[in-house]
Amino acid sequence: MVRRDAHPRPEGPFEVLAGFERRSLAHVVGLPEQLDAPGMWRGVGYRVGQRLLASEFDEVVEILPLPQLTAVPGAQPWMLGVANIRGNLLPVVDLRLFLEGERTVLHEGQRVLVMRQPGGNVALTIDELFGQRSFLEEQQSSHEALSGGRYSGFIERVYKVGGHAWGVFSLDRLSRTPEFRQAAA
């Protein structure tokens, strides 16, 4: 006879979340195979101007609504200001203005990508957030159309999906660019 305890041992938060994940994945056909598929690249998808871009998950710290900004006198026009994010001051950069010379039209629901850079994180405005994107090796395409102008140093490769070209944009390269690191006018 198997004896069951009247009071089962409580699960910790990790065990509860792991259980949710196991039960969720058990009901999705093909998902475990897709997660480990060879030749698949995944990242965060977004739009800057007319360009569809995606960046590595490990380059994006978090995605936030546009925080309240405080202007910084004497800064480059693309430096929108600084924001207090959970007690840390983060510079907020208009990525479109930096790359294209055209200001992002800020709106309600505006999002920023927070990226790592030596010396502290930086928030970048984007025009639209698409969330997680997955691309297959066979979807790779030439990237002349997407990598013109200032984008050329940051687009690593391009994937063509449904008639749309997605550029893999290196936030790490952006953070190491001397012009980007010099926000003073």
On whether residue 90 sits in a domain, the answer given is yes
Instruction: Give mean pLDDT, residues 144-150.
Output: 71
* Number of domains composing the chain: 1
On whether residue 134 sits in a domain, the answer given is yes
The residues, any chain, with a CB within 8 Å of residue 20's CB and separated by 6 or more, are: none
On whether residue 74 sits in a domain, the answer given is yes
On whether residue 8 sits in a domain, the answer given is no
On whether residue 33 sits in a domain, the answer given is no
The residue range of the domain holding 97 is 42-180
**CATH assignment at residue 168:** 2.40.50.180
Instruction: Indicate whether 185 pLDDT > 80.
Output: no
- Amino acid identity of residue 182, one-letter, is Q
Strands of the sheet containing 60-65, edge to edge, are 60-65, 111-115, 122-126, 88-94, 79-85
Instruction: Give mean pLDDT, residues 149-171.
Output: 91
Q: What count of Cα atoms within 13 Å lies in the side-chain half-sphere of residue 156? A: 11
The per-residue pLDDT for 135 is: 95
On whether residue 112 sits in a domain, the answer given is yes
Instruction: Give mean pLDDT, residues 138-158.
Output: 82
Q: Please name which of 108, 83, 77 lies closest in space to residue 95, comparing C-alpha atoms.
A: 77
On whether residue 168 sits in a domain, the answer given is yes
Mean pLDDT of the chain: 84
Most confident region among 25-39, 96-110, 138-152 by mean pLDDT: 96-110
Q: Per the structure block, which two tokens stand in for 73?
A: 């006198």
Q: What is the pTM assigned to this prediction? A: 0.77
b/e burial code for range 57-87 (CB count within 10 A of at least 16 → b): eebbbeebebbeeeebeebbebbbebbebee
